[in-house]
Structure 1
């Protein structure tokens, strides 16, 4: 157990070699009274903190920071953290990345485009023993699957998954790291391929076809 936290608090360790990302996450999470936060900039630094402070309730590791070597670093951190949840922070993982991360025992995958409020909720969720995987990563994004099941492209299928959640174009653009006009273009293309007039009809048609 991490020193200096109360029984009602969740201790969080965030490790990322991008200083700006790390600072933003730490600033927001530290403002929440139920969380205590410590940071590291490499896997070795994170493992040293765990050794010195004790296991953390939830640890978030950047997939591509120094020392990770893919899921090998994740496995080392899970062992060091005495079985407490360890999750991966990443930008845009491939389907293979997602599969390897989850098979290695990660508590979840958090995208770096995630809104801070969603990040906090994901931390609470994983600390409670649940596995967190963003909706867009649960969509089978392989080209073979897309060709067999839907007329939509990989990116259009991803945008459609956000339409199902009722998100406006601006929030979809932020989540995917794209410009809002690009999202509008994808929505128009989705409607055209599905033979509907608007996004609401697109969601209904997609559900009828079993695309989402």
Structure 2
């Protein structure tokens, strides 16, 4: 059952959706003593959407990456749209360089590890609500190290196409998103398959994920 925790009559309105109720309770205990933040909670994506429909846009929404109904970047974009373009971030137990890249690419306001101290979480909430992007330094360093460890054989445009392939989009939609002719997209897909040593787009996505290209 979704719950609401209120920590003051004014200030930042924050919605945190996480299916671990203990985490929500701990966060609620901390934020109830933070007068400039009003917290609303939900335990699923559907629950978060219900709260948004009842409340309207929030100053910040944090979504658990692994809760029911969560589908990565697709859900992130959906919730961002429903939140009138206001910031939406991710909270997760074990962020990887790939998660950081994917969430950043899909417009996340930040990625907050569940190991973050409550004081740092409060600061991160204020930071993201102010329109800034919050990605902890150690996570960014891990991402940079992973990127430097492997030199991609793909061009920048091929990487863009590959990300669209990883989202399961057909050539026509990829072309529309990247402003490319469908024939050009097909050419890029063939080049990607050749460079990765695979025979079709599905294998290309699997190979790219193994190489941490997407």
The bucket for the TM-score relative to the shorter chain is 0.5 to 0.7
* Partner of residue 148, structure 2: 145
Counterpart selection for 2:100 from 98, 101, 124:
98
Distance 1:132 1:144, change over 3 A: closer
1:121 and 1:10 mapped to 2: Cα distance?
A: 12
C-alpha displacement of 1:146: 5.1
* Cα drift, residue 26 of structure 1: 1.4
Q: Do the aligned residues in 2 keep the contact of 1:78 with 1:84 (CA within 8 Å)?
A: yes
- Determine whether 1:86 maps to 2:88: yes
Give 4+ residue runs of structure 1 displaced > 6 Å after superposition.
none
TM-score, normalised on structure 1?
0.64
Instruction: Give the deviation of 1:145 after TM superposition.
Output: 3.0
Structure 2 residue aligned with 1:40: 42
Q: Mark the runs of 5 or more structure 1 residues left unpaired by the alignment.
A: 149-212
1: CA distance, partners of 2:115 / 2:25: 15
Once the 2 structures are TM-superposed, how far is the Cα of residue 96 of structure 1 from its aligned partner?
1.1
Structure 2 alignment gaps of length 5 or more = 1-6, 152-214
2:121 is aligned to 119
For 1:13, the equivalent position in structure 2 comes to 15
Q: CA deviation at 1:42?
A: 0.2
In the alignment, the residues of structure 2 paired with residue 35 and residue 143 of structure 1 have an alpha-carbon distance, to the nearest angstrom, of 36
Give the corresponding residue for 1:207: none
3-state SS, counterpart of residue 58 of structure 2: coil
Q: How far did 1:19 drift?
A: 1.1
1:62-88 per-position Cα deviation (integer Å, ceiling 9, x unaligned): 001001112211111101110111000
| Contact 1:5 1:11 survives alignment (8 Å) | no
* 2:67 corresponding residue in structure 1: 65
CA distance in structure 2 between the partners assigned to 1:129 and 1:5 by the alignment = 22
Q: What TM-score comes out, normalization by structure 2 length?
A: 0.63
More moved, 94-103 vs 138-147: 138-147
Length, aligned pairs only? 145
User: Equivalents in 2 of 1:47, 1:133: separation in Å?
Assistant: 25
Post-superposition offset of 1:140: 3.7
Compute the RMSD of aligned alpha carbons: 2.2
